[in-house]
Structures are given as C-alpha cells and as structure tokens.
Structure 1
C-alpha cells in the first residue's frame, strides 16, 4: 500500500479544525489531533512545523471555505446575511474558529482587508447605498448573522422550551435576520412606520 501524503495532510487538517474549534489554540492537543487523523505526531510536525502554523492553516481553510460559500455581495447585503446565517448554523465550527482566533491569535489567518476595502469602496460609490458608513454596516450585518448562535440558550428558550435549533425556528430567525439587514441597508427614513 502506498502512502498518500495529500490524504494524510487533509485528515490532519480536518482533525485540527475540530480540535481547535472545540478547545481553542491553548487547549488543543497535538496528540488528540494525531489520533483523530490516524496519523503520527511526527507527520504533523513534518507538514505543519508547529502548533501555531497548524492553527494558521486550519484558520485559512475554515475562513476560505466560508468566504467561497458566502461571498460578500455588496449589492445584496440582506441575501448575504441570510446565506451567512445558514452557513454558520450548519457549520458552527467556522464561527468557533473565528472566535478562538479573535481571543487567542488575532494576527493569524488570511488577511481579508483588501477584499473588504474593495467591497466598501463599491458600497460608498453606489448612490443607493445605506445611510450608514460601510464598515459599520458590515459589522452590524455580521453581528446579525452570528446573534442566534452566540445568544445564551436561556434567552432562546425563555418563551418556549422547544429546541431553538429546530429547522422551523431557525427559518423564522433567518427571516428576521434578513429583514433586519434589509432595514439597515435601506436609505434613511424609509424604515419608519406611518404614524
């Protein structure tokens, strides 16, 4: 049987994403990653050099997959919010990895500043752009997409003890996220209800 180094690297990276998303950088253990990947520790160090570079590779993988699956469309931010909400509720490891990055290693991972700058420049140039500064608007929309996942479970079950992650409830909240994003993007004064 021939050794497949690409398959081994892929298994190591998948196991690392699970380990880092569950335990963060500080809590992750190379032994557990090696066991989950059915690889030896030495191969992890051969392919990724050290734990920090493995964490960086895991971040790149997760963030690139998220960006490919949910491209930022500056002309349809409510649609973007809905797609991002779907992605994060279906793949909670992506949000956990992002949070661990913010807490422990904010300097690691792909630098998306150029991508965001380009999108925000287009939003600024668009005459139908919202009344909010582009950076603030994207921060608010990003927060909307993560709000259900980050909210305390006690809050989500305060009115109903039913599972807040059941498909029907997620669909209801997704509609709220999209509508809130639509209102954020609307020109000033267009969200007011008649008196």
Structure 2
C-alpha cells in the first residue's frame, strides 16, 4: 500500500506541536515526536531537514494560524483582545509556542513584521507615532496583546484568590469582560 506523505507530514507536525509546546526547543525530543506520530524518525529529517526546521514549521503553522484567525483590528482593539483571549484559551499551544520562541529561538518562525507595521501605521494619528488616545501605537498594541494573554500566564494562586474556579466558564467569561473593558478604556481616544 502506498504511503500518504501528506498524512505522515501532518501527523509529525501535530506531534511536534504538542512536544515543542510542552518542552520547548531544547527539551523536545525527535524520538518522542516520531513515536507519537507513528512515523519513522528518518521521515522527520526527510520532511523537515532537522530539529530546527521542524520547530520552524511548527511555529509557522501555529502562529500563522493565530495571525490568520485573529487579525488585529486597529479600529476595534477591545474586540481584538477578546478574540485573542478566546483563541489562546482554545489553542493553548499557540501561547506556549510563542513564549518558547521568544525564549529560545526568536529569529525562527513567521515574519509578522509587515502585519504589525501596517497595523501600527493604521493606529497612528497624523501627529506621528501616537494613537489617537495619546499612547504610542506600538506600545498600545503590545499592551493589548499582553493583556489578552495575561490570564493564561498568571499564577494559579492569583487566579483563584477570589475563591472561584479560574477555569470555570463563568469565571472565564467575567475575566473576558474585564479584559475587553480594560482595553476599551486604554484605547479610547482622549479628548483635548
């Protein structure tokens, strides 16, 4: 029976997403990825050349999916923050891989510079690099993205400090509402 190379490649990529998101680049093992994928280890090298090539493919896949599914909407930063929170909650590997990328291999992965440059320019008013609310547009976008991820990277003790289950649908909905409102407040144009 002939091999289905696309299916094999997909199984390897799926297994690598889980391995790299759990262990990072340094801790990930090709042997484990091969075993989980049900593939010969040699096929990883055929499709991806080496461990770094596989990590790059994983980052391009996961972060590319995030960029495509949650585009920055400069005219609705509160909505963007809510959608980003929803995506990260549904796809925890996306946040973990983004963090591992920053820690271990910041130069690998999709080049989103053009996307961010266009969004920052769209957020900038006629006076230079300031958003109409008076904050530098780049800083505002960094704050919004950080706020969207903050619940997922905060200590469990802090998240449960109010006595509620931080993973319950009700608590997550309350936090999402607070996130959207906070972003609305920091992104609303200031009045002269």
TM-score range, shorter chain: over 0.9
1:97 maps to 97
Q: How many residues of Structure 1 are paired with residues of Structure 2 in the alignment?
A: 189
Superposed counterparts of 1:15-164, under 5 Å: 15-125=15-125, 129-160=132-163, 162-164=164-166
Q: Distance in 2 between matches of 1:89 and 1:165?
A: 10
Question: Alpha-carbon deviation of 1:129?
Answer: 2.9
1:6 maps to 6
Gaps of 5+ in 1: 191-195
- The list of structure 1 runs, each at least 4 consecutive aligned residues, that deviate by more than 6 angstroms after superposition, is none
Q: Which segment is superposed worse, 30-39 or 181-190?
A: 181-190
CA RMSD of aligned residues (A): 1.5
Q: Distance in 2 between matches of 1:65 and 1:133?
A: 27
Question: Alpha-carbon deviation of 1:125?
Answer: 3.9
Q: Distance in 1 between matches of 2:112 and 2:68?
A: 13
Question: Alpha-carbon deviation of 1:159?
Answer: 2.0
1:184 maps to 186
> What per-residue deviation string (whole Å, max 9, x for no partner) do you get for residues 132-159 of structure 1?
1110000000111011001100101122
Q: Distance in 1 between matches of 2:38 and 2:133?
A: 51
Q: Under a length normalisation based on structure 1, what TM-score does the superposition of the two structures give?
A: 0.93
Question: Alpha-carbon deviation of 1:89?
Answer: 1.1
Q: Under a length normalisation based on structure 2, what TM-score does the superposition of the two structures give?
A: 0.94
Whether the aligned pair in 2 keeps the contact of 1:131 and 1:185 (CA below 8 Å) is no
CA distance 1:165–1:126, shift in 2 (3 Å): farther
Whether the aligned pair in 1 keeps the contact of 2:132 and 2:190 (CA below 8 Å) is no
